[in-house]
Amino acid sequence: MTVGECNERDFWAERKVCVTGGAGFVGRVLCRRLKEFGCAAVSVPRREQYDLTQPEAVARMYDDFGPDVVIHLAAEVGGIGANRAHPGRFFYVNLAMGMNQIERARRVGVEKFVQVGTVCSYPKFCPVPFREEDIWSGYPEETNAPYGIAKKSLLVMLQAYRAEYGFNGVFVMPVNLYGPGDNFDPDSSHVIPALIRKFQIAKDEGRDAVECWGTGQPSREFLYVDDAASAILAAARCYDGAEPINIGTGSEITIRKLAHLIAELIGFDGGIVWDRAQPDGQPRRQLDVTRAFETLRWLARVDLRTGLEHTIKWWRSRQPSVIRD
């Protein structure tokens, strides 16, 4: 056991933690880590019992769980298609959940509140690599602006509450996440699970080509889910600042190169056709992760190829119809 692991065990063993969205993609990994560290109690509110868009439900949740630390992961989110179909809902639900959580946490005296934001909050034409101080330098990419603005409005709320009430709320901004347990629903998945699914189906059905959205020219940065969970926990334990922290790898890849890499890992040797009538989204995404290293002593550990291999293996293990090599 390293000194850092020992310190983490000491910290979490004394605290009750509530993880909203704890049954979701990142939340499951994060809750597992907390239990491994011997956390005093880990509570996961479920939507059926606690509608976080309703203040009275949030108040009841805090009364029931009595957390020392709250990690707010819960969100309604999706890829470009889902954002275009539900801009109003994505804005309202994400803003309402965060506002209700922060206000109640302040009222009951929660020790630490961690708000998980999104890279979608950055301006569409933000200078690369994205630095935290550039978050207000322009309007977000249009297809996901309502979601991104809702999230960074919560950053303003946390900063205002810190200034007026001394409330210890921190804000972390992960880049695009992926990994085992990701959402593979064709109507709401993000780019990596969507491409894995497309190429695997094309391989199984013997197709000659796969159609992908846009031009393939935009770039994205991707962070493996286990790395994201470790960064969020590090922020909960170590960071008490008002400014947001980027969480990512600091490396970008074009969607075209990503598609070819996934096709290679799947074993699909057909062509790729780009549907230029569909939107590309933000031109580039790459984070400056200097602040995460300096304040948290955190760096991502899983490279993209390895993470994709793990993700494909996980998804294939849950698809009985997939032909295995």
What 8-state DSSP symbol labels residue 125?
Answer: T
Whole-number Å distance between alpha carbons of 303 and 315: 18
Active-site choice (50, 122, 147, 224): 147
**What's the pLDDT score for residue 196?**
97
Residue pair 219/282 in contact (Cβ under 8 Å)? The answer is no
**What's the pLDDT score for residue 98?**
98
Residue pair 19/44 in contact (Cβ under 8 Å)? The answer is yes
pLDDT band of residue 6 (cuts 50, 70, 90) is very low
Long-range contacts of 63-68 (CB under 8 A, 24+ apart): 65/16, 65/18, 65/41, 66/16, 67/16, 67/17, 67/18, 67/43, 67/110, 68/15, 68/16, 68/17, 68/110, 68/111, 68/112
Whole-number Å distance between alpha carbons of 280 and 78: 15
12 compared with 8, residue with greater pLDDT: 12
- CATH topology for the 3-178+221-250+286-303 domain: Rossmann fold (3.40.50)
Q: What is the number of other CB atoms lying within 10 angstroms of the CB of residue 318?
A: 10
The two beta strands, 219-220 and 253-254, are antiparallel
Given a cut of 90, whether residue 324 has pLDDT beyond it is no
**What's the pLDDT score for residue 148?**
95
Q: Phi, psi (5° rounding) for residue 16?
A: -95, 130
DSSP calls for 248-263: S-S--EEHHHHHHHHH
Mean pLDDT of 91-96: 97
Whole-number Å distance between alpha carbons of 323 and 325: 7
What pTM was estimated for this model as a whole? 0.92
Instruction: List b or e across 190-218, with b for residues whose CB sees 16 or more CB atoms inside 10 angstroms.
Output: bbbbbbbbbbbbbbeeeeeebebbbebeb
| pLDDT tens sequence across 101-114 | 999 999 999 999 99
**What's the pLDDT score for residue 190?**
86
Q: Which residue has the tokens 């900063």?
A: 159
Whole-number Å distance between alpha carbons of 293 and 297: 4
pLDDT band of residue 12 (cuts 50, 70, 90) is very high
Q: Phi, psi (5° rounding) for residue 235?
A: -65, -40
Given a cut of 80, whether residue 320 has pLDDT beyond it is no
pLDDT band of residue 321 (cuts 50, 70, 90) is low
Locate the domains of the chain by residue range. 3-178+221-250+286-303
H helices present in 87-190, as ranges: 87-108, 145-165
**What's the pLDDT score for residue 280?**
86
Helix (H) or strand (E) holding 188: none
Given a cut of 90, whether residue 279 has pLDDT beyond it is no
**What's the pLDDT score for residue 89?**
95
Residue pair 178/311 in contact (Cβ under 8 Å)? The answer is yes
Mean pLDDT of 110-127: 96
Radius of gyration for the alpha carbons in the chain, expressed in angstroms and rounded: 20
Whole-number Å distance between alpha carbons of 229 and 233: 6
Residue pair 220/285 in contact (Cβ under 8 Å)? The answer is yes
Whole-number Å distance between alpha carbons of 288 and 176: 14
Mean pLDDT of 111-125: 96
Q: Check if 161 is active-site.
A: no
- Three-class DSSP category at 99: helix
**What's the pLDDT score for residue 181?**
95
| pLDDT tens sequence across 216-274 | 999 999 999 999 999 999 999 999 999 999 999 999 999 999 999 999 999 999 999 99
pLDDT band of residue 325 (cuts 50, 70, 90) is very low
Whole-number Å distance between alpha carbons of 84 and 314: 29
Given a cut of 70, whether residue 4 has pLDDT beyond it is no
- Three-class DSSP category at 318: coil
| pLDDT tens sequence across 29-79 | 999 999 999 999 999 999 999 999 999 999 999 999 999 999 999 998 877
Mean pLDDT of 284-300: 96
